[in-house]
Amino acid sequence: MPESSILVTGGCGYIGSHVVRQLSECGYQVVIIDNLSTGSKENLIYDEKLVVGDISDSKLVESVFSQYRFDAVFHFAASIIVPESVKMPLKYYRNNTVNSINIFDACIRYGVNKIVFSSTAAVYGENELLQVTEDSPLNPTNPYARSKLMDEYVLSDMRAALPNLSYVILRYFNVAGSDLLGRIGPRNPNATHLIKVACEAALGIRDKVTIFGTDYPTHDGTCIRDYIHVEDLAKAHLESYRYLRDGGDSIVLNCGYGRGLSVREVLKAVELAHRKPIKVSEGYRRIGDVSSVIANSNRIKKLLNWRPVYEDISSIVESAYHWEKKLIRNSNSERRIFSVNQSLGREVT
């Protein structure tokens, strides 16, 4: 059993919790810092150590690093909504860049020299390439992407100054799906990810799903993205840590399948899972969105021997759809219990 202790920031969130679960299943000791603004304690299924707080709190970060001996840090905590970043840029530079520096600074002072960092394919911005490699031009078009790219620069500069430091920067493409056993998944009711929103529309949680822009230079006029199952992405984090533990040098890696799907194609996949049409409306483009971004994932497959398992869009959508159905069942059950308690005159807390 591995003896490593790993700090995971944002470990109660959607992606972080899947990584935490896989780490625990491999025997790693996991400590989590999460302010629970979008994450949930319910996403922790192995009773991992949770410190509730914000990584902007330097005293809290100091306390956690002084209490535990970490072999590595997996850094997820961030704000991630592109349209919001355009409206509230300072929030994103504060949460995603300034707060990351708090964590990186603690790593230096406490001798934690392995970092797995959650970045984004949004750093590539608009491009004319069929697939982007890690060496493709970087042209972030919104504050969210720019804040993440700043973190990448910070890590690169830290590595230049501190030869013992090593990191893996994982540039996520569009993450979707959930744990195949239905234990954890995206719980944030304000999520903006297309597949979750479409599943909610199919199940009546939302009135409809809106296509933001139908005049992009793509085959059907809608944006094209590379969708990756959260389980495959989580596995990439564990493989990244093993790579660093085995002496691997700092590296940037794309996390995608190398296959693009348009918004309309994704909605069709959700309708197939739902077995009936869903209500769709068409709207204007959102500021900050790009027409197409697809991964070239040759590097991660070669260096980490990463082999995705759930590449088919039906696997991604089916797991997302069944997760949303479970949330509805749980919500209905909680309402029935509340109603019974009220009728019996019990105090509900």
Tokens of residue 301, six digits: 């497959």
Determine the Cα–Cα distance for residues 23 and 4; give it in Å rounded to an integer. Answer: 10
Catalytic residue among 28, 144, 167, 172, which? 144
Determine the Cα–Cα distance for residues 252 and 6; give it in Å rounded to an integer. Answer: 20
Report CA-CA distances (Å) from 139 to 29, 126, 145, 149. Answer: 38, 7, 9, 10
Terminal C-alpha separation, the chain: 41
Q: Select from 290, 338, 299, 267 the least CA-distant residue to 133.
A: 299
Whether 167 is catalytic is no
Tell the residue number behind the tokens 């919001």, with chain if given. 84
Contact (CB, 8 A) for 49 and 17: no
CA-based torsion, 29, 34, 38, 44: positive or negative: positive
Tell the residue number behind the tokens 């869903």, with chain if given. 278
Active site residues: 144
